[in-house]
Amino acid sequence: MPTDQLSRTFSALADPTRRAILAHLAAGEATVGQLAEPFDMSFAAVSKHLRVLQSAGLVTRGRDAQYRPARLDARPLAAASGWITDFERFWGESLDSLGTYLTELQQSATVRADPARTEPKDRS
């Protein structure tokens, strides 16, 4: 079982049903019955998904008479987004480098294929 917050967040997000539940809760709080409507599953199954989301800190449960509406708590998503953004910068830089390398390879192949052709002049 994951112990750090980021691991719990990603573990909870790994399931498509839990992601759909979070998307539903992004529009506002909902009861287990309301969350179960779009799925072909029991209230107990939805409750299990909610428990996983609660343990990851993504959902809180309130009390309104006999109902316990669930609410989205997006704070753990912000931490996950920050972690992903760090790698997005890495991949952006890596892909830029790859693009430059591929352009150089194409220019080199063109010159080798037609030695009479010279590299285009920079018109900047």
Q: H helices then E strands: how many in the chain? A: 5, 2
Band (pLDDT 50/70/90 cuts) for residue 101 is confident
Q: Which of 98, 112, 104, 31 is nearest to 64 (CA)?
A: 31
Are 29 and 81 in contact by the 8 Å Cβ rule? The answer is: no
The torsion angles phi and psi of 70, rounded to 5 degrees, stand at -100, 145
Spell out the domain ranges in the chain: 5-73, 75-115
- Determine the Cα–Cα distance for residues 59 and 62; give it in Å rounded to an integer: 10
What is the tens place of the pLDDT at every residue in 27-71? Answer: 999 999 999 999 988 999 999 999 999 999 999 998 766 778 999
pLDDT for the residue 93: 75
Domain boundaries 5-73, corresponding CATH code: 1.10.10.10
- Determine the Cα–Cα distance for residues 22 and 13; give it in Å rounded to an integer: 9
